[in-house]
Amino acid sequence: MTTATTNRIEAGTWALDSIHSVANFRVKHFGLTWLRGRFTEFELTLTASEDGSLKIEGGAPVETIDFPNPQLHGHLMGPDFFDAELHPRLTFSSTSVELADDGTALIKGDLTMRGTTNPVELKGTWSGPVEGLGGDTRIGLEISGEVDRFAYGISWAANLPGGSEVLGKTVKLEGEFELARQ
């Protein structure tokens, strides 16, 4: 069961404010710089039970990955990468959520991508609650983690003439989420 180490999160459903939230990822290109992508559409919900336990669930349509190059986007949607036609969504479901009184966050869960589910651990911070301008109660969550893309069957690879990888295996995940109590 999921747990919380604080009583500051009111029981109920906390829904994503998509205008004030971002979900990004990055991967090394040529071993030099980060190739970055973001999701233009995604969902995230935090459910807080009366007993203090917390559950986070979310997902995104793979097609909403935003890259500056249309040709690269098409390649990412194809069988070499996400295979969006066969696997149109990626999802996350927490197995453990700890939002500590010191503002640290530790979220463990299952990430499903390209039909494969693997455990992932996300760390970061949380803040709030605060009362928003409309009188609603809000919290913030900033998390990051990393996955091995090969573990999800995203194993396209090529090497540069000197032997370096064109694209790294490790993908860094980053999210900044604002959630409002419903």
Task: Give residue 79's domain range.
Answer: 12-181
Please indicate, yes or no, if residue 1 is contained in any of the structural domains.
Answer: no
Contact call for residues 172 and 26 (beta carbons, < 8 A): yes
Give the type of residue at 88: P
4, part of any domain: no
What is the percent of the chain where pLDDT is above 90? 92
pLDDT band for position 1 (50/70/90)?
Answer: very low
Q: Is 7 domain-assigned?
A: no
Q: Report if residue 38 sits inside a domain.
A: yes
Give this prediction's pTM. 0.93
At residue 90, the pLDDT reads: 98
Q: Distance (Å, rounded) from C-alpha 92 to C-alpha 112? A: 6
Indicate which CATH number applies to the domain containing 138. 2.40.128.110
Q: Rounded to an integer, what distance in angstroms lies between the CA atom of residue 6 and that of residue 88?
A: 36
pLDDT, tens digit, for every residue of 7-66?
589 999 999 999 999 999 999 999 999 999 999 999 999 999 999 999 999 999 999 999
Residue 3 lies in a domain: no
Number of domains observed in the structure of the chain: 1
Question: Does a structural domain hold residue 2?
Answer: no
E strands in 50-165: 54-61, 65-66, 89-99, 104-113, 116-131, 137-148
First to last CA, the chain: 23
